[in-house]
Amino acid sequence: MTYVTQNCVTQWSYTSSKVYEDPFNDVVLDVLVTDPDGAEHRVPAFWAGDQTWHVRYSSPKLGVHRVRTECSDSANEGLHGQERDLLVSAYEGGNPLMAHGGVRVADDRRHLAHADGEPFLWLADTWWMGLCKRLQWPDEFSTMLADRAAKGFSVIQIVAGLYPDMPYMDERGANEAGFPWDGGYTRINPEYYSMADLRIAAIVQAGLVPCIVGCWGYFMGWMGVEKMKQHWRNLVARYGAYPVVWCLAGEGVMPYYLSEDRERDESLQREGWTELARYVTEIDPWDRLITVHPTNSARNQVTDVSVIDFDMLQTGHGDRTSIPNTVQSVTGGYSAEPVMPVINGEVCYEGIIESCRQEVQRFMFWSCVLSGAAGHTYGANGIWQLNREDEPYGPSPHGSSWGDQPWTEAYQWPGSRELGVGKSLLERYEWWRLEPHPEWVEPHAGEGNYMAPFAAGIPGELVILYMPTHTPPVVKQLEAGREYEARYLNPSDGTELELGVIRASDSGEWQVPKPPIFRDWVLVLEAR
């Protein structure tokens, strides 16, 4: 009997009784787990090198889980027909991912929640190349992870080794054990993933969700669908037992930067990622969420939108010029069918093109969440590509560099702290019940004036405004004569300015008073 704690990962091994010349390609090993309710789950095993396979498993269900192996070579006594029992007991620690389980779509289809229904507010940081050795393990990785956890981030977006912005087997993408696949995409390098395992486990131990991006989109054309399925089987087997989110690809339908037939490549990638989404759903016994990091919207990266669970957006890096597209994309995603959570997965990395500083970060966060987004994703130039002081990332395939800011400076830029403040302000309230209500304020943000206030709330209970400028608006459609406790919140540091008890007019309106400082503010009205 193996003893394991609820929602925590346990691992065990099997050794082949036969020697295979190419075990990664010659053998497929699954374990069939029958849970205490009698349901059977097929869990993929992963090749760990030599003639050894590992299995990782976790479950929210308490009690005895019975395990039996099933190998594609049924004559292999070391791999086929092996049995064991697991006893899952209750988790009593403080990690929310173990206490409440992984992330799913909430019942309202607008937000995310833990497995047990506890609301989950997505605030992600973008570490695209975070599994490479330019972010050294363990000290540097732990430094940045501790900073993000302390600031309130809940997700880390990280690519599983097949990176953007470089040709494959570029030395900038290696970790301590080399590259994830050999040069011809014949087989994986298990030692690479052993080093990646340490980093993924550390993210979970810190209480954050890894959003694992399988590769950048153009690898579909380089590897083909069948090799990509092998790649994803390895990822599901290694990391599916953790409370992860699957992101099939980064910029799913974007061809390689130097592509000679972009239309053909885009079509191939869209078809391929649709097939891969169905495949991952089929082989993942934990039913982790699936999305695609897009060129615009995840809905447009696949031919069948039903294969994804939430809509991820990318809306530009043009500082304030990206505001119209950002707001339009969020509101468009919120109103689209079928209904699903919307999250801006990439917008205006702090410091990119020497722009997009903290005031833009605050604007993007508050405008997105008050327009209906289920959370928000931050990024910093210098972190996504992991510049080092002694080793700038250098030029992209198109010949220019995105900038030389080292990650050791970028992780301390104020935008990350101020978005953590924004998340903590939202968490004072039942943020998962918020609905966008632009009609509650005049003027309100929209075409022609995106610097006007954004409004969301809970009818009869709560109004939250984000005011990008100091011009005070009028709040409308309040209950006539109703009293509210009003306060300004500083979105940079969370400090409060109490405005006292206010009363709506007979027409349900209230003139917002001029704020004490010319800057952006969050205004909150709580019904008494």
Summarised one tens digit per residue, pLDDT across range 272-321 is 999 999 999 999 999 999 999 999 999 999 999 999 999 999 999 999 99
Length of the chain equals 528
pLDDT at 449 over 90: yes
d(CA 93, CA 90): 9
Which candidate, 136, 142, 133, places its Cα nearest to that of 176? 133
What amino acid is encoded at 37 in this protein? D
pLDDT digits (tens, 9 = 90+) for 66-109: 999 999 999 999 999 999 999 999 999 999 999 999 999 999 99
The contacts of residue 332 (CB under 8 Å, 6+ apart) are: 297
How confident is residue 470, by pLDDT bands cut at 50, 70 and 90?
Answer: confident
Does the 437-527 domain belong in CATH 2.60.40? yes
Question: At the top level of CATH, which class does the domain 122-420 belong to?
Answer: alpha beta
Q: What angle do CA 278, 282, 288 make, to 5 degrees?
A: 90
pLDDT at residue 43 is higher than 90: yes
Q: What is the pLDDT of residue 18?
A: 97
Domain spans in the chain, listed from the N-terminal domain onward: 2-89, 122-420, 437-527
Task: Give the model confidence (pLDDT) of 319-364 as tens digits.
Answer: 999 999 999 999 999 999 999 999 999 999 999 999 999 999 999 9
Distance between CA atoms of 472 and 84, rounded to whole angstroms?
67
Q: What share of the chain is helix, strand, coil (3-state, %, to 5)?
A: 25, 25, 45
The whole-number pLDDT of residue 244 equals 98
CA atoms within 13 Å, Cβ hemisphere of 263:
0
Does the fold of domain 437-527 match that of domain 122-420?
A: no
Superfamily in which the 2-89 domain is placed by CATH: Immunoglobulins (2.60.40.10)
Q: Which residue has the tokens 């390895």?
A: 234
Residues of the chain above pLDDT 70, percent: 100
Nearby residues of 33 by Cβ (< 8 Å), 6 or more positions away: 40, 41, 42, 43, 57, 59, 65, 66, 67, 86, 285
| DSSP type of residue 513 | P
- b/e per residue, 346-378, with b = 16+ CB within 10 A? bbbbbbbeebbebbbbbbbbbbbbbbbbbbbbb
Has residue 1 got a pLDDT over 90? no
Give the integer Cα–Cα distance in Å for 259 and 167. 12
d(CA 28, CA 511): 67
